[in-house]
Amino acid sequence: MDSLGVLKVYTGQGFPSQGMGKEVLNAYPQVRELYATAKAITGLDIEKLCREGTEEEQANTRNQQAMVFVNIAALILRTEGLLYDKNKVWHCPEHEENKDPRKSFYLGFSLGEILALLAARKFSFVDGLKLIKTRSELMARENKGELVNAIGGEEADIRRRILGKDVYLAISSSDGIVALGGYKTPLKLVCDELRAQECVKKIIENKKTSAAFHTPLFEQEAYELLHFLRAHSDIFLPSDRVVISNLDARLYPGSVEDTIYRISRQICETVQFKRAVKSVEDCIEEVQVIGPGSEKMAKIVKTNIPGMPVTTIETLDSLNAHWENQMRRIPAVTRSL
């Protein structure tokens, strides 16, 4: 049997916080270059939005997707060792000396799937920014509906009860945690019914997400993103790294057309995060959760794979701890070769 690998999970939209990424930005000149590049491409002062953006500004889908993308991209540079553009390469020197010999599996939560593809070198940092710019502008164009988190219910039971009621399962996070999406009136009726019949323990409004993403309400936006990506299909590069899709918990194959299809459909179909995590349970010995909100995401991962070691990488301290762990894992003689 092959040695066990590591699952790298990238957090997504819905986890912004004021000041996020500040320590990592201040510590590394290359990370400052990433922020400057992002500002030139998106037109957004992402550093300022992260440092002092209001709750309303940070909840704006266009702002939030750019913020999360650049924050996690900086962590990818520091943990995967490389980001690049056509005329520029950003290196992390520690990575080459202490490279993890284990096989990596890449998975993202919603928006985090784009970062998983970036970490797997399916496209460049700059092309990823352009993809996010278009994706976020489409998703922010019209605030259609809203999301709520249903806690403590059975997913199969909830699926049956919402069928035909214009309410949709948006995200399957773990056993007992799902997100439902729809327009306000039908969503409220369904939530009242679930409470009255004690099908869930509680329902929490998702205030950090501005619309019913990952539901059929965004079918048109998915269609437009599909055509945008087809028109820019040259951004996708061959890669043998393993990325798990939110769409069906299967691996991304080598086909560019299939990659385009999965990225576009993800914004109007259920995020199958629970299934995706469980799909590699027997192949891994550790999970690393990377990005803003990593502690919250780690709890979800632990629910899906009880007993699996889970570490988080978000702050400068956690990055330093990551490298210390790498050095302990890899014998000095191996590092010197």
272-282 tens-digit pLDDT: 999 999 999 99
Res 332: pLDDT: 45
**Which residue has 């995590």 as its token pair?**
277
pLDDT tens digits, one per residue of 7-50: 999 998 877 777 889 999 999 999 999 999 999 999 999 999 99
Q: How many residues does the chain have?
A: 337
In terms of domains, do 169 and 307 share one? Answer: no
CA 176/CA 154 separation, integer angstroms = 6
- CATH code: domain of residue 192: 3.30.70.250
Res 336: pLDDT: 41
Residue ranges of the chain with per-residue pLDDT less than 70? 1-2, 95-98, 329-337
**Which residue has 């997913």 as its token pair?**
155
pLDDT tens digits, one per residue of 222-254: 999 999 999 999 999 999 999 999 999 999 977
Residue type, 221: E
Q: What string of DSSP letters covers 109-152?
A: STTHHHHHHHHTTSS-HHHHHHHHHHHHHHHHSS---EEEEEES
**Alpha helices, DSSP H, located in 8-119:** 22-27, 29-42, 46-52, 55-59, 61-80, 93-97, 112-119
CA dist 63 → 134, 140, 205 (Å): 12, 9, 21
C-alpha 229 chain-centroid distance: 19
Which domain range does residue 16 map to? 5-141+216-336
What is the greatest pairwise CA distance in the chain? 65
Res 303: pLDDT: 95
Res 97: pLDDT: 67
Asked whether residue 229 is assigned to any structural domain, the reply reads: yes
- CATH code: domain of residue 327: 3.40.366.10
> Buried b vs exposed e over 235-244: b needs ≥16 C-beta within 10 Å?
bbeebebbbb
In terms of domains, do 198 and 272 share one? Answer: no
Enter the pTM of the model: 0.94
Instruction: Single out the residue in 205, 224, 245 at which a domain terminates.
Output: 205
CA 259/CA 240 separation, integer angstroms = 13
Structural domains in the chain (count): 2
In terms of domains, do 112 and 259 share one? Answer: yes
Res 96: pLDDT: 67
CA dist 138 → 14, 59, 172, 199, 226 (Å): 17, 15, 23, 34, 11
